[in-house]
Structure 1
Amino acid sequence: MLPILLKCLPFFALIGLGYLAGRTRFFPPEGVAWLTKFVFFFALSAMLFRFAANLSLSDIFDLPFVLAYLSASVLLYALVMAMARLRGRSIEEAAMEAQCAQSGNTGFLGVPMLVVLLGEQAAGPVLMVLTVDMVVFSSLITLIITGARGGAFGVQTLQALALGWVRNPMVVSIVPGLIWSGMALPVPGPVNEFLAILGAAATPGALFAIGASLAGRGAERLVVAGWLSGAKLVLHPALVALAAFWLFPVEPVAAGVMVAAASLPVAGNVYILAQHYGVAPQRVSTAILISTAASILTVPAVIAWVTG
Structure 2
Amino acid sequence: MLEVFLRTLPFFLLIGTGWAAGRTSFFPPEATAWLTRFVFHFALSAMLFRFAATLDVAGLFDLAFVLAYLTGSSAVWILAFTVARRRREPPAAAAMQAHTAMTGNTGFLGVPMLVALLGPRAVGPVLMVLAIDMLVFSSLITLIVTAARQGRLAPATLLPLARGIAGNPMIVSMLAGVAWSGAQLPMPGPLDAFLALLGAAATPGALFAIGAGLAGRGAERLGPAVWLGFAKLVLHPLAVGIAALWVFDVGRDAAGVMIAAAALPVAGNVYMLAQYFGVAVQRVSAAILVSTAAAILTLPVVIALAGYP
What are the superposed Cα offsets for residues 231-261 of structure 1, whole Å, 9 maximum, x if unpaired?
0000000001001111112111000000000
Could you tell me how far apart the structure 2 residues matched to 1:297 and 1:110 are? 16
The correspondence of residues 14-29 of structure 1 with structure 2, limited to 5 A, is: 14-29=14-29
Q: What is residue 47 of structure 2 aligned with on the other side? A: 47
Deviation at 1:185, TM superposition (A): 1.6
What are the superposed Cα offsets for residues 251-281 of structure 1, whole Å, 9 maximum, x if unpaired?
1100000000000000000000000000011
Could you tell me how far apart the structure 2 residues matched to 1:132 and 1:186 are? 28
The correspondence of residues 50-199 of structure 1 with structure 2, limited to 5 A, is: 50-199=50-199
Could you tell me how far apart the structure 2 residues matched to 1:259 and 1:222 are? 26
Could you tell me how far apart the structure 2 residues matched to 1:151 and 1:183 are? 45
Deviates more, 1:219-228 or 1:142-151: 142-151
Matched, 1:270 2:273: no
Alignment TM-score, normalising by the size of structure 1: 0.98
The correspondence of residues 224-235 of structure 1 with structure 2, limited to 5 A, is: 224-235=224-235
Aligned residues: 308
Deviation at 1:307, TM superposition (A): 2.4
What are the superposed Cα offsets for residues 12-65 of structure 1, whole Å, 9 maximum, x if unpaired?
000000000001111111111111000000000000000011101134211100
Could you tell me how far apart the structure 2 residues matched to 1:103 and 1:59 are? 25
8 A Cα contact 1:108 1:206, kept in partner: yes
8 A Cα contact 1:54 1:186, kept in partner: no
C-alpha root-mean-square deviation of aligned residues, in Å? Answer: 0.9
Deviation at 1:154, TM superposition (A): 3.7
Q: What is residue 282 of structure 1 aligned with on the other side? A: 282
The residue identity in structure 1 corresponding to 2:45 is S
Deviation at 1:161, TM superposition (A): 1.3
8 A Cα contact 1:77 1:99, kept in partner: yes
8 A Cα contact 1:105 1:268, kept in partner: yes
Could you tell me how far apart the structure 1 residues matched to 2:185 and 2:305 are? 37
What are the superposed Cα offsets for residues 147-174 of structure 1, whole Å, 9 maximum, x if unpaired?
1112543431110111111221101111
SS in 1 for 2:164: helix
Could you tell me how far apart the structure 2 residues matched to 1:152 and 1:101 are? 25
SS in 2 for 1:307: coil
Could you tell me how far apart the structure 2 residues matched to 1:55 and 1:186 are? 13
8 A Cα contact 1:226 1:287, kept in partner: yes
Structure 2: which 5+ runs fail to align? none
Identity among equivalent positions (%) equals: 65
Q: What is residue 215 of structure 2 aligned with on the other side? A: 215
SS in 2 for 1:205: helix
8 A Cα contact 1:60 1:127, kept in partner: no
Structure 1: which 5+ runs fail to align? none
Alignment TM-score, normalising by the size of structure 2: 0.98
The correspondence of residues 236-275 of structure 1 with structure 2, limited to 5 A, is: 236-275=236-275
The residue identity in structure 2 corresponding to 1:261 is A
What are the superposed Cα offsets for residues 49-92 of structure 1, whole Å, 9 maximum, x if unpaired?
00011101134211100000001111111111011001100100
The residue identity in structure 1 corresponding to 2:273 is L
